[in-house]
Amino acid sequence: MKVKVLSRNPDDYVRETKLDIQRVPRNYDPTLHPFEVAREYTRALNATKLERVFAKPFLASLDGHRDGVNCLAKHTRSLSTLLSGSCDGEVKVWNLSKRECVRTLQAHEGFVRGMVVRFCGTSFFTIGDDKTIKQWKMETPGYGEEEEPLHTILGKTVFTGLDHHQKEGVFATCGQQVDIWDEQRSSPIRSFTWGVDSFSSVSFNPVETDLLGSCASDRSIVLYDMRESAPLKKVIMTMRSNTLCWNPMEAYYFTCANEDYNLYTYDMRYLEKPLVVHMDHVSAVLDVDYSPTGQEFVSASFDKTIRIFPKDAGHSREVYHTKRMQHVICIKWSADSKYILSGSDEMNIRLWKANAAEKLGVLAPREREAANYSQKLKEKFQNHPQIRRIARHRHLPKSIYHQTKELRVMKDARRRKEMNVRKHSKPGAVPVVSEKEKHVVTVVK
């Protein structure tokens, strides 16, 4: 007699320890789950609501400066170190994890205009209104030692911007002209001039390390190659750009913060028109910094807000503000892409989360999976009106809210007028000019 017995391997259904989760056998046949979309929609809605509930981006305020914070610098080797220079010439070194100032030094007389940490992280450079470039040791001087710069270079004119090469002992300053300096020499190894301008900022390309970009007061952005004797190209816009930041992951893209409330992302090879116009600020944009992942950037504005833009989106995904924060002068995105640091007029440095609702610290695997799942759900249902409404909702200060409205009205009026003019003139006499093309005056070779 044959006996047939059903046999199952206990490994398939018995958990290894009692701490494990019980195995739940499931039947994934779609006919058995008729309401999957509805259920996921509910989950997405809940996730979106929870995200708004947990969105608490402000982490800490570092106070200690006795004047407005004019510049910030990230440490290149240490995540927890931040340097800040203020309008009274004082430089402070901060420990971010302890949220305290670890060192203070009087670097300049007048403003500290720019500051940058050398790529090795052992020293940093400052420039000031006193026409000097100073190099300082990163280490705090020992007991009884004087706080003295390693080197001091006395320039002919005031310096306004400073940046250091990514790998070599070369740095660039700008003022009346853009100078390239060797760390070992007291005179610039190269100076670039193109017309008579004053430059507001200069920045090295972090990927293609010999390229530079600078913003000039004649409303232009000028590109340079450190190895060439002449600048490369210049684009003149309708208004002046304040700062410029290169994308650290995509060699030929850079974004500039403009006085006309917008930011512009350019491809350095095609300067005729920007790739994206990032709108949302209601006052001049003063500073911009890319996330080290190159996916997003953050901008600081005179309108007392910070906004985070995806690199290819026309509008911001996030706006940060507090009642006490005044005009934001400088901004940095931390090197681990998790935090944002802002220095503002009212002498404070603020620490923000880059993702407002993100849980900080180490996540348990299940926690992380749940977060990933809810993130994907939000993405999947982002076009559904209820979810979009909740996800987009931000509280804005009254003034900004009204100003946004006002700007919209103005823009609409202008467009309407243009349309009317076009309607009443010969066909082709008033051409349609796209938003991107509007802001570029000319490209100078």
Partner 1 sequence: MESEDPEMEREDAEDEREDAEDEREDEEDERRRLRLVEAITALRGGRKKPLGERSEAAVRVSEFAVTAEGERQKVQLSDLIEGAQQSPAVPTQTRKQLQNLRRSQKTVEQPLSRQESERVQRDLAFQKAAVHVSRWKSVVTQNRRSEQLVFPLNQEPSGPKPLEKVVTGWRVQTPLEQEVFNLLSANKQPIHDPVLSPAEEASLRAMSLEEAQIRRAELQKARALQSYYEAKARRERKIKSKKYHRVQNKARRKEFLKQFDQMVKTDPNGALEELNKMELARMKERMSLKHQNSGKWARSKAIMQQLELNKDLTQKVRSSLSNLEEQEDRASDPELLPDFVNDAEPGQVSSNPWMRGELSAEPAEAQRSEQEVAAAAAQKEQHEEGEALLRDFESRRKLRQKEEEEQEAAGQDVEDSDEEEGPADQEEEGLSEFRSLFRGVAEGLKEAAATASSAGCSSAPLEGGLIRIRTVEDAELLPPEDVELLPCSESPPSAPQEEAPPTGQKARGSKKRKRNIELKEVLTKDAKTVTVPLAPTLTDTADGSDEELDQRGLIMEAFAGDDVIADFLRDKRKQEDAAKPKVVDLTLPGWGEWGGQGLKPSSRKRRRFRVKVAPAEPRKDQHLPGVIISEQRNGSLSAHQVSALPFPFENHAQFESAVRTPLGRTWNTERTVKKLTMPKVLTQLGTIIQPMTEEELARKKASAAGAGKEDPHKTKDQKRRARKGRKRHQKQLKQGSGRTEGIRCECKVDLVD
Contact assessment for residue 352 and residue 340, using Cβ atoms and an 8 Å cutoff? yes
Rounded least distance, CB 81 to partner 1, Å: 11
Residue span binding partner 1 (CB under 8 A) among the ranges 13-21, 142-150, 221-229, 319-327? 221-229
22 touching partner 1, by CB under 8 A: no
User: What gap in Å lies between CA 216 and CA 208, rounded to an integer?
Assistant: 22
Take residue 324 and report the two structure tokens written for it. Answer: 């006490």
CA atoms within 13 A on the CB side of 148: 5
- Which of 82, 96, 107, 211 forms a contact with partner 1 (CB under 8 A)? 211
Rounded least distance, CB 376 to partner 1, Å: 5
CA distances from 80 to 43, 157, 427 (A): 37, 34, 61
Rounded least distance, CB 270 to partner 1, Å: 9
Cα angle for residues 72, 76, 78 (degrees, 5° grid) = 95
| Nearer to partner 1 among residue 293 and residue 404 (C-beta) | 293
Residue span binding partner 1 (CB under 8 A) among the ranges 183-191, 202-210, 324-332, 410-418? 202-210
Beta carbons within 8 Å of 122's beta carbon, 6+ residues apart? 137, 138, 139
CA distances from 2 to 6, 8, 9 (A): 13, 19, 21
Three-class SS of residue 288? Answer: strand
Contact assessment for residue 241 and residue 256, using Cβ atoms and an 8 Å cutoff? yes
The amino acid that residue 413 corresponds to is: A
5 touching partner 1, by CB under 8 A: yes
Contact assessment for residue 357 and residue 55, using Cβ atoms and an 8 Å cutoff? yes
Contact assessment for residue 330 and residue 342, using Cβ atoms and an 8 Å cutoff? yes
- Which of 9, 17, 22, 383 forms a contact with partner 1 (CB under 8 A)? 383
Contact assessment for residue 372 and residue 358, using Cβ atoms and an 8 Å cutoff? no
- Which of 60, 79, 236, 390 forms a contact with partner 1 (CB under 8 A)? 79
| Nearer to partner 1 among residue 61 and residue 295 (C-beta) | 295
| Nearer to partner 1 among residue 115 and residue 226 (C-beta) | 226
| Nearer to partner 1 among residue 33 and residue 417 (C-beta) | 33
58 touching partner 1, by CB under 8 A: no
Of 385-424, binders to partner 1 (CB under 8 A) are 385-386
- Which of 129, 218, 225, 358 forms a contact with partner 1 (CB under 8 A)? 225
**353 beta partners:** 339
230 touching partner 1, by CB under 8 A: yes
CA atoms within 13 A on the CB side of 403: 14
223 touching partner 1, by CB under 8 A: yes
| Nearer to partner 1 among residue 398 and residue 445 (C-beta) | 445
Of 240-269, binders to partner 1 (CB under 8 A) are 248-252, 268-269
Q: At 121, phi and psi to the nearest 5?
A: 80, 10
Size of the site for partner 1 (CB under 8 A): 63
What is the DSSP-derived secondary structure letter of residue 279? Answer: B
357 touching partner 1, by CB under 8 A: no
| Nearer to partner 1 among residue 285 and residue 377 (C-beta) | 377
- Which of 103, 190, 317, 338 forms a contact with partner 1 (CB under 8 A)? 338
Q: Nearest Cα to 245, choosing from 72, 79, 96, 126? A: 72
Take residue 38 and report the two structure tokens written for it. Answer: 């509805």
Rounded least distance, CB 365 to partner 1, Å: 11
Residue span binding partner 1 (CB under 8 A) among the ranges 52-60, 229-237, 302-310, 416-424? 229-237
Of 269-298, binders to partner 1 (CB under 8 A) are 269, 292-295
Rounded least distance, CB 31 to partner 1, Å: 6
Contact assessment for residue 85 and residue 115, using Cβ atoms and an 8 Å cutoff? yes
CA distances from 96 to 80, 103, 187, 358, 363 (A): 5, 13, 36, 19, 21
- Which of 13, 14, 15, 37 forms a contact with partner 1 (CB under 8 A)? 37
- Which of 52, 373, 394, 397 forms a contact with partner 1 (CB under 8 A)? 373
441 CA to centre of own chain? 26
| Nearer to partner 1 among residue 37 and residue 150 (C-beta) | 37
Contact assessment for residue 121 and residue 100, using Cβ atoms and an 8 Å cutoff? no
Cα angle for residues 398, 401, 405 (degrees, 5° grid) = 140
- Which of 104, 123, 337, 404 forms a contact with partner 1 (CB under 8 A)? 337
List contacts with partner 1 (CB under 8 A). Answer: 1-5, 26, 28, 30-31, 33-34, 36-37, 39-41, 43, 76-77, 79, 166, 206-208, 211, 223, 225, 228-233, 248-252, 268-269, 292-295, 335-338, 361-362, 369, 372-373, 375-377, 380-381, 383-386, 445
